[in-house]
């Protein structure tokens, strides 16, 4: 152990109460930062995983043609080009588009969907629903529908063309259960009866409260559509690369393509704002801990003036004196970060066990946390920066003390 480090330990243990207060500030600041980031990122990740599992990472929709418009200045942005497009409903060559797109390395699978908005009736209850006509085999490869089944059986849905899968919250709205009958109103004004084969819970409120799955051919007959698909959804190996692939698909297929980042932009910004707000709020705790360390080290300097002067007269240089007080801050930061990280992990685990019934933007029965090493890295970095700044001024002041004047009894 080097002399400055040994002396730093002696100085720290001299003011134990102040040391514990400073240490607790760092510990709780680091722990709260980790726990809050784990919660906010956990809910955001749950929403992203749920929407990717239900709607895919990328969607191709209606065909478009560029309108030829006379203009002196050519369009410079993609938004301007979009304004000059003429769209046509439906996808008439879905099989060919899927065949070509499967050749891309980032594409895992794809599924055609015929989508329409209908009125549903069960007993005395009515609701507007989002009908998804699917090919079960392809859709189960592309989405997490099999994992989302809450009640009932997928086999019943596969084997019975006149059966449907209903969103979990929609079953509550229509007072339905597996085995009941729901009526869907076709555009021609005729109600058609379907048996409820299963209920599905995606975790996204907007999906669970409106969506009904049926077989693609049945949906085509019910909606009176001349085409078999109104969109194609994709599962990607790397969802983060969806925007670049969507842009490439638009150029290649001349169909509107939307990545999940663009589709969920507003919600993603909301989660980002919540994470930043939580980080700023909890960072203030670490900042206050830094002020506490500053006060402790300042008082240590004032109470150890003669000891510092003796050390200087014994041959300790200015940088050695500074090192003593920087070591004190470093020891508090190290101990605070280690204990804080352990406490943060314990708090995150404890919060994840708390039951809670959320049925809004997302649906969950307990708090969701994300385990990410970056939470610990940023918490430690903030603590180190705060403690380093708080330790620098007292260390610099201690190094500037004049030993001869101090030993004669002069004040600082």
Q: pLDDT digit string (tens) for 89-107?
A: 888 888 999 999 999 999 9
Q: Residue 80: pLDDT above 50?
A: no
**Segment 202-245, tens digit of pLDDT:** 888 889 999 999 999 999 989 888 888 999 999 999 999 999 99
d(CA 304, CA 316): 15
At residue 336 the predicted structure's pLDDT band, cuts being 50, 70 and 90, is confident
**Band (317; pLDDT cuts 50, 70, 90):** confident
Distance CA 3, CA 8 (A): 8
Query: Across-strand partners of 191?
Result: 185
Of residues 86 and 410, the one with the higher pLDDT is 86
Residues 133 and 224: beta-carbon distance below 8 Å: no
- Strands of 123-222 (E only): list them: 125-134, 149-152, 163-167, 181-185, 191-200, 211-215
Q: Which residue has the higher pLDDT, 279 or 339?
A: 339
For residue 47, name the pLDDT band (cuts at 50, 70, 90).
Answer: confident
Residue 15 has pLDDT above 70, yes or no: no
The distance between the two most distant Cα atoms of the chain, rounded to a whole number of Å, is: 104
Contacts of 276 (CB under 8 A, 6+ apart): none
* 3-state secondary structure at position 48: helix
- Output the CA torsion 167→170→172→177 (10° steps): -50
Listed in sequence order, the residues at least 6 apart from 377 whose beta carbon sits closer than 8 Å to its beta carbon are none
Average pLDDT (323-342) is 83
Average pLDDT over residues 283-311: 68
Confidence bin at 9 (pLDDT 50/70/90): low
Q: Which residue has the tokens 């906010």?
A: 40
98 Cβ partners below 8 Å, 6+ apart? 110, 112, 232
Tokens of 388: 């380093």
Whether 361 shows a pLDDT value over 90: the answer reads no
3-state secondary structure of 152: strand
Q: Which residues are bridge partners to 342 per DSSP?
A: none
Give the mean pLDDT of 143-159.
Answer: 90
Q: In this model, does residue 72 exceed pLDDT 50?
A: no
Q: Which helix (H) or strand (E) holds 224?
A: none
Span 101-115, average pLDDT: 93
Asked if the model's pLDDT at residue 1 lies above 80, the reply is no
Identify the pLDDT of residue 245. 94
Q: What is the pLDDT of residue 342?
A: 94
Nearest to 387 by CA among 302, 330, 343, 337: 330
**Closest to 288 in 3D by CA, of 27, 88, 9, 1:** 27
Cα dihedral 11→13→19→24 (10° resolution): 140
Looking from the CA of 309 toward its CB, the CA atoms found within 13 Å total 17
Cβ atoms of residues 213 and 202 within 8 Å: no
d(CA 123, CA 97) in angstroms, rounded, equals 42
CA dihedral 320, 321, 326, 332 (to 10 degrees): 110
C-alpha separations of 243 from 196, 248, 250, 255 in Å: 37, 9, 11, 14
The length of the chain is: 412
32, 285 contact by CB (below 8 A)? yes
């Amino acid at each position: 152990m080097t002399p400055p480090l040994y002396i730093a330990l002696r100085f720290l243990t001299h003011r134990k109460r102040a040391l514990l207060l400073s240490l607790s500030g760092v510990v709780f600041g680091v722990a709260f930062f980790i726990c809050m980031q784990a919660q906010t990122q956990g809910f955001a990740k749950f929403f992203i995983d749920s929407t990717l599992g239900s709607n895919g990472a990328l969607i191709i929709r209606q065909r478009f043609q560029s309108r030829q418009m006379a203009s002196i200045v050519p369009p410079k942005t993609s938004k301007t080009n979009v304004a000059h497009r003429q769209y046509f409903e439906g996808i008439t060559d879905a099989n060919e588009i899927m065949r070509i797109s499967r050749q891309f390395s980032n594409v895992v699978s794809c599924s055609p969907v015929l989508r329409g908005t209908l009125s549903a009736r069960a007993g005395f209850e009515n609701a507007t629903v989002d009908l998804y006509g699917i090919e079960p085999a392809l859709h189960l490869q592309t989405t997490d529908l099999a994992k989302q089944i809450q009640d009932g059986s997928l086999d019943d849905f596969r084997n019975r063309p006149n059966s449907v899968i209903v969103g979990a919250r929609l079953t509550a709205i229509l007072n339905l259960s597996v085995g009941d009958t729901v009526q869907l109103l076709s555009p021609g004004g005729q109600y058609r009866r379907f048996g409820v084969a299963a209920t599905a819970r995606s975790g996204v409120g907007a999906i669970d409260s409106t969506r009904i799955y049926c077989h693609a051919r049945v949906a085509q007959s019910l909606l009176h559509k001349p085409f078999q698909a109104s969109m194609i959804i994709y599962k990607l190996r790397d969802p983060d690369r969806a925007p670049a692939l969507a842009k490439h698909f638009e150029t290649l297929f001349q169909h509107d393509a939307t990545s999940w980042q663009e589709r969920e932009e507003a919600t993603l910004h909301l989660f980002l704002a919540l994470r930043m707000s939580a980080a700023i709020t909890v960072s203030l705790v670490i900042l206050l801990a830094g002020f506490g360390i500053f006060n402790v080290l300042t008082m240590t300097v004032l109470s150890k003036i003669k000891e510092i002067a003796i050390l200087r007269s014994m041959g300790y240089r200015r940088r050695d004196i500074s090192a003593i007080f920087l070591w004190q801050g470093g020891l508090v930061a190290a101990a605070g970060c280690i204990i804080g990280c352990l406490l943060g992990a314990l708090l995150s685990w404890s919060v994840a066990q708390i039951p809670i019934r959320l049925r809004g933007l997302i649906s969950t029965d307990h708090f969701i946390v994300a385990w990410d090493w970056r939470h610990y890295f940023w918490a430690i970095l903030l603590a180190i920066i705060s403690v380093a700044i708080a330790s620098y001024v007292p260390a610099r002041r201690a190094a500037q003390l004049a030993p001869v004047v101090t030993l004669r009894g002069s004040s600082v």
